[in-house]
Each structure stands twice: as structure tokens, then as C-alpha cells.
Amino acid sequence: MTGSGRGPAGEPAGRAETGGQAGRRRAADDLGVLLGRVALGDEEAYAAVYDRTAGQVLGVVRAVVRDPAQSEEVVQEVLLDVWRSASRFDAQRGSASAWVMTLAHRRAVDRVRSEQKAAERERRVPSSATAYDEVAEAVEARLDRERVRRCLASLTELQRESVTLAYYGGYTYREVAELLGVAIGTVKTRMRDGLIRLRDCLGVDS
């Protein structure tokens, strides 16, 4: 019978998925598959996840943290979190992109709260056990940031430049390759090697 107003598979024609919607859904599904491979320690899958999400992560973090230098540190922490905790992603609870952006937002909020607490502590004179605990907490956070900086310094110059441009600048592999004047394959290799060295230096389990 004609004129039923129904699309493929008996769905109402007005609800048929557009090409753009289908493409976005496939991309989201692909990212979820990649995260599953990352959970198994697949470094190439991690590189692909990074390439797809780094720019969005930077955008989310900058919107919350504001400070460029601190945003760069938080982006690195988020992407290391993705490598470390990919096994926790559950497609039944939401999209892979939303999961990564949630990690980014939480890390950014934690950094802002940490900085606010530090500022409050500076306005008070430590005079109790509570104050001592707060100062110890601030020292520990500062040492963690110093550890990240030391680990970055342990990379080769090309690894460090590649990681810094990609994580902090939000550049793609191709853009990093153009900026450094090297082949894109070289950038990908150095990036993977650099991330592995960072993971080992920071004591992050794969």
C-alpha cells in the first residue's frame, strides 16, 4: 500500500536517520571499539583515541580551568586517565565520547577546587593539626606536578615536542608533523614511545 508514510524497516519516514546522524553514530561506535582495544593495551588504538579526542578534551578543560598552563597539565592527566582506565568504559551507560569528556570535566573541576583550597590556605595562618594536613596535601599535589615535569624531561627532544604540541596545543598528528618538519609516521611512533615512557615514569599500570 502506498502513502503509508513509513520509511525503511517500517519506521516512520520522519524519523529516518540522516546521513550526518548515521555518520556521527558510527564514529561514536568506532571510538567505543577503540577504547575496548586500549583496555587490552593496544597502543595504536590509544593513539587513534588520542587523535580523535585531544582537541575536545582541551576545549572542555580550558572552559573550566581558564589558565592555559594549568589546562595543559590537566589535559595530560586526562589522556593518561584514558589509557589507564579504558576498561571502565561501559557502552551501556553512554557514548565513548561522553565518557572521555566526563573524565576531562571531572579532572578540570578537581583542579579548580584544588587551586581554590590552596588560595584559601594562603589566606589563613596554619595553627592546628587540620592546617598541617592541608599543607601536607598541597605539598603532595605540588610534588605530583613536579614528577610530571621530570618525566617529560626524561623524553627525547622529538618525543617531548610531539607530546607537548599534541597534548597542550591540541594539534593533530599531521599538524605536528608539519610543525616539526618530519614524517607523520615518525610523529606517531615518537608519540606512542613517549606516552609509554611517561606511563612507566609515572608508575601508571597499563
What is the rounded (10 degree) CA torsion for 42, 200, 156, 43?
Answer: 0
Please say whether the structural domain 22-152 has been given the CATH code 1.10.1740.10: yes
Give the pLDDT score at 12: 40
Give the pLDDT score at 158: 80
Q: What are phi and psi of 30, to 5 degrees?
A: -60, -40
Here the cell at position 92 is 551501556
CA separation for the pair 62, 75 (Å, rounded): 9
CA separation for the pair 165, 87 (Å, rounded): 27
pTM more than 0.75: no
pLDDT of 36 > 90? The answer is yes
For the stretch 69-127, pLDDT in tens is 888 889 989 999 999 999 999 988 888 999 999 999 999 998 888 888 777 766 654 44
Here the cell at position 163 is 607530546
The set of long-range contacts for 108-111, using a CB threshold of 8 Å and a minimum separation of 24, is 108/60, 108/61, 108/63, 108/64, 108/65, 108/71, 108/74, 109/64, 111/64, 111/65, 111/70, 111/73, 111/74
Three-state secondary-structure class, residue 3: coil
